[in-house]
Amino acid sequence: MGMFSKRWSKETETRSAADIRYVANSARRPILRLSTATSEKLHPQYQDIPGKWENMSKLAQDAVPSLVDVELPERPSLSDIANLPSEIRSRVSYPSFWRMLSLASESQERPAKRQKGVKETDSGSEGDVDEWILAYERYLGNTRHFPTEWKHGLVSLEDANDAFPDSALSNNGRLIIRPQTLSGYLVLGEERASNIRIQPSVAASDLDWNNHLVAGGIVLGALLVADSPDSSKQWESSDIDVYVYGLGPQAATEKIKHIFQVFRANLPRGAPTLVVRNSKTITFYSDFPTRRIQIVLKLVKSPKDVLLNFDLDICAIGWDGSNVWMLPRAARALETGFNIFTMNLIQGHL
């Protein structure tokens, strides 16, 4: 307090704060740049606060968009969908998004896939499924801290009617008819099949499937073997990639031991086994054609975390022992036959 030029007194209590100064670098500087008397600022009243407290609810409403009154018409148009707040559009599940587009396209031609940044007709730019998928995946990444709700936002085979609108279910599987034309820059499009057939469901094996997920190419291969009797040959050498989730190091070690015991118990009598470990995986080997089981040594919280770490769209598919789960971009890749290029393919996911 010795730096002040005058002692506090009844007289100085009513002076403006800007009049109270301190010395720094041989210059007298104001402590506060306020025009209101110091005595009033020492005991502020709610009504003295700029903007008034009754206006705070309005300020909060402006900062947090109000989503309560948002309502789509019974027959929404593509414009109605495009005009939804981004907070809502980025949280609509993939099957629900396709249902909205299907309702909108009943009176309009269904939009084809659009490239990011391409401005076409109103119906085209507003029905961009791929743009929505990129935004939705950012939302899914923000929900990782809810590991018990990991199924939220993923696509299962039970959602196939909505996720694959141009498909038909038969005794031989589900036939997905791919769009004939797609906008954007396409690579190796001539090698793309005009349609594919996937399994309508997958049977569980005799294994305790708690806290681990099989994901990647082997699950994709299991879905596609319904395409033709010869299609399974390309998947003969595929590893079975297993991911452990929701466990600590000790419990995860016990889970890996259990998987190895089941692997060895299902081998023919006298079949050799070999376990190879490196810094990232543990792999179980036996004689060909027994598939290698590769356990990824990265503990994650949920299956959603596993799928979000796949860089290639078509590989973001997993099997939890009872159902197939995939990211929306994996379902889109099955439908179109193309993977969308993003910088994650170069830099990898964090």
pLDDT(206) > 80: no
Task: Give the CATH number for residue 308.
Answer: 3.30.460
Residue 100 falls within a domain, yes or no? Answer: no
For helices 129-141 and 328-336, angle between their N-to-C axes, nearest 10 degrees: 150
Residue 312 falls within a domain, yes or no? Answer: yes
Least confident residue range of 20-24, 171-175, 218-222: 20-24
Q: 238 vs 36, which has greater pLDDT?
A: 238
Last residue within a domain, chosen from 25, 40, 63 = 63
* pTM score of the predicted model: 0.63
Residue 21 falls within a domain, yes or no? Answer: yes
Residue 72 falls within a domain, yes or no? Answer: no
Q: What is the pLDDT of residues 274-325, one digit of tens each?
A: 999 999 999 999 887 778 899 999 989 999 999 999 988 999 999 998 889 9
Residue 256 falls within a domain, yes or no? Answer: yes
What's the one-letter identity of residue 268? P
Kindly tell me the burial class for residue 240, based on how many C-beta atoms sit within 10 Å of its own C-beta (0-12, 13-18, 19 or more): buried
Q: What is the span of the domain harbouring residue 20?
A: 12-63
pLDDT(258) > 80: yes
Residue ranges in 121-248 assigned as alpha helix (H)? 122-126, 129-141, 160-163, 217-224
Residue 117 falls within a domain, yes or no? Answer: no
What's the one-letter identity of residue 121? T
Residue 238 falls within a domain, yes or no? Answer: yes
Last residue within a domain, chosen from 47, 63, 79 = 63
Q: What is the pLDDT of residues 145-204, one digit of tens each?
A: 788 888 888 988 888 888 888 888 776 678 887 877 776 677 767 777 777 777 665 544
Total domains present in the chain: 2
